[in-house]
Structure 1
């Protein structure tokens, strides 16, 4: 006979496992047979506890594949410009950043136009794989004029906020960002970087960041996993 106390005990045990990160966001739980043996309960009792966790939003069920921990979905507060690092920390998540490319090269015509510099001017390109709690979330490519960010050319930017490094090392404070978002599908390379399937949905964010006096200092392209990012904005109708 199944008792409510037994179901509650399993519910509390699994809740604690999720809280301490025993099962990472996006991961699949062990099979019901293994879990019931590990917890010393019947599969019927286990299923009731799992169903309760599903109602709580702590787990997701797939009829073919089993039980999964939902991925952390991040979203930008309306009308608030935050760096990736700030966005993660505000949600109690641990940000990470792995540098894939950090080199000086000539600016393209488009970059030069957006940054208000001469074509072929030297710029620093920074490619990074950004993560939250160890889960890859974003592939980020940023370009800044070398003359304005010379201190970053040889700096160690692993697990660093670029906004913060620009402020502390270069005296540049980002004030606003012109940002657009569009949907796309992950190609082979992007899928491998973000740990998702080829053709999986991604959100592509393109930005030009400015200082308070209106000077453009950064252009960037961010590729977010479609199941891990949500963009929010306040929209207003004009008056009559």
Structure 2
């Protein structure tokens, strides 16, 4: 299935921001100009811009235009953000409902992606994530068991990244979302 055009535009504009084509505080070109550049309707372009706004990467200023968001948000773009951080950055209140939490054998792809050995196990946790009490996503997290053994289930299920970083001394270097 081919990626929708607005996603392609979103990804290109995000790359442009990450590569400093547009700097923090810069006004991006007008919708009409960008629509011509990408050879799409303004409606398609607006959808891409709206998605970048929702992610906190761009901000609209009434009567002035659309600008690359503040440095604080930009610094977070290059790192891994937890759902809680992303939701709070968007001015919303995050919450979760734990659906399942089990230690189990990894699938073949999990074994490969996590570089696990023969008998290594994983925590597979499912949560419904909410922003302002509105369900946003169904999340399935797979983590090598040895990373979470020292921690309480409540700490892991409610604040995984924070628990690993602050209590475990780990630095989150990579995640596939």
TM-score by length of 1: 0.40
Equivalent residues in 2 for 1:91-130 (5 A)? 91-130=90-129
Q: Which residue of 2 aligns with 1:161?
A: 159
Count residues in correspondence.
106
* 1:143 CA displacement: 0.7
Could you list the per-position Cα deviations for residues 201-231 of structure 1 after superposition, in whole angstroms to 9, with x for gaps in the alignment? xxxxxx1xxxxxxxxxxxxx5xxxxxxxxxx
Q: CA RMSD in A?
A: 2.3
Whose strand fraction is larger, Structure 1's or Structure 2's? 1
Whose helix fraction is larger, Structure 1's or Structure 2's? 2
Q: Which residue of 2 aligns with 1:131?
A: 130
Equivalent residues in 2 for 1:33-72 (5 A)? none
CA distance in 1, matches of 2:147, 2:156: 20
* 1:108 CA displacement: 1.5
Q: Which residue of 1 aligns with 2:149?
A: 150
Counterparts in 2 of 1:88 and 1:159: CA distance versus 1, 3 Å: farther
TM-score by length of 2: 0.53
Secondary structure class of the residue paired with 2:154: coil
Secondary structure class of the residue paired with 1:113: helix
CA distance in 2, matches of 1:98, 1:175: 26
Q: Which residue of 1 aligns with 2:55?
A: 75
Q: If you compute each CA radius of gyration, which structure gives the higher value, 1 or 2?
A: 1
* 1:146 CA displacement: 0.7
Q: Which residue of 2 aligns with 1:170?
A: 168
CA distance in 1, matches of 2:164, 2:107: 22
Secondary structure class of the residue paired with 1:168: helix
Equivalent residues in 2 for 1:174-213 (5 A)? 174-177=172-175, 207=176
Q: Which runs of 4+ in 1 moved over 6 A?
A: none
